Amino acid sequence: MFLENTKKTGCIEVICGSMFSGKTEELIRRLRRAQFAKQKIATFKPTIDKRYSELDVVSHDSHSISCTPIKTPSRMLQIDADVQVVGIDEAQFFDDSIIEVVQQLANRGVRVIIAGLDTDYLGKPFGPMPGLLAIAEDVQKVHAICVRCGALANHSHRLSDSRKLVVLGEKDTYEPLCRDCYNRALQEDREG
């Protein structure tokens, strides 16, 4: 006799990579599949991200899903009790408290899907992403294509002179580069 498994099993999934690698696209795809399976979802992004829309998570190729913009990760703990899947975009812009928040959600039985840049424009681990990668049950690293040589790209090279850590932008501000082209670009930036 088949017994239905009614136990809620939470988990943490992280999708990471460089700019233009398809992180948000993959997040939206997973959330749409959950909706198709009639699961209740809640989607969040940091209020700082207003590039395409204030109330939607939008990929660079214009796919979107509605979301709640929030300033602090603790707001996610206020979701309805029947939410089964939580999506989080641009997780690198949150503070480290997001690590404990997603742990609490997963411990409640919620599937948490997180997308974010794993490194900043200097190639250094970005914000809470290393901590999120460490606690995730599933990690998927996605890659863009290097715009200079066509190899797999895993670096986000900033085209502007700004030295601020957070500069929101698109193809006019960043380009995806492979390791070799990124190192050459950094050398050119230093010399130029």
Q: What percent of the chain has pLDDT over 90?
A: 74
What integer is the mean pLDDT of 118-143? 96
Contact 42, 65 (CB under 8 A): no
pLDDT at 59: 61
Q: Hey, which residues does 144 pair with through a beta bridge? A: 153
User: What pTM did the predictor assign?
Assistant: 0.89
Q: What would the pLDDT profile of 27-56 be if each residue is shown by its tens digit? A: 999 999 999 999 999 999 998 876 665 666
Amino acid identity of residue 145, one-letter, is I
Asked whether the predicted pLDDT for residue 4 surpasses 60, the reply is no
pLDDT at 173: 87
Q: What DSSP letter does each residue of 151-188 carry, written as one string?
A: SEE-EEEE-S----S-----TTTEEEE-HHHHHHHHHH
The secondary structure of the chain in percent helix, strand, coil, rounded to multiples of 5, reads 30, 25, 45
Q: What is the CA radius of gyration of the chain?
A: 17
Among 13, 26, 90, 175, the one annotated catalytic: 90
What integer is the mean pLDDT of 102-128? 96
When pLDDT is cut at 50, 70 and 90, the band that residue 66 belongs to is: confident
Q: What tokens appear for 160 in the block?
A: 């502007």
pLDDT at 79: 96
b or e along 134-155 (b: 16 or more beta carbons within 10 Å of the residue's beta carbon)?
Answer: eebeeeeebbbebebeeeebbb
Task: Give the contacts of 186 (CB within 8 A, at least 6 positions apart).
Answer: 157
Angle at 129 between CA 23 and CA 115, to 5 degrees: 20
Known catalytic residue at 90: yes
Domains of the chain: 11-142 (3.40.50.300)
Q: What would the pLDDT profile of 104-115 be if each residue is shown by its tens digit? A: 999 999 999 999
Q: What would the pLDDT profile of 136-171 be if each residue is shown by its tens digit? A: 999 999 999 999 999 999 999 999 887 787 776 666
**Mean pLDDT value across the chain:** 89
When pLDDT is cut at 50, 70 and 90, the band that residue 1 belongs to is: very low
Asked whether the predicted pLDDT for residue 183 surpasses 80, the reply is yes
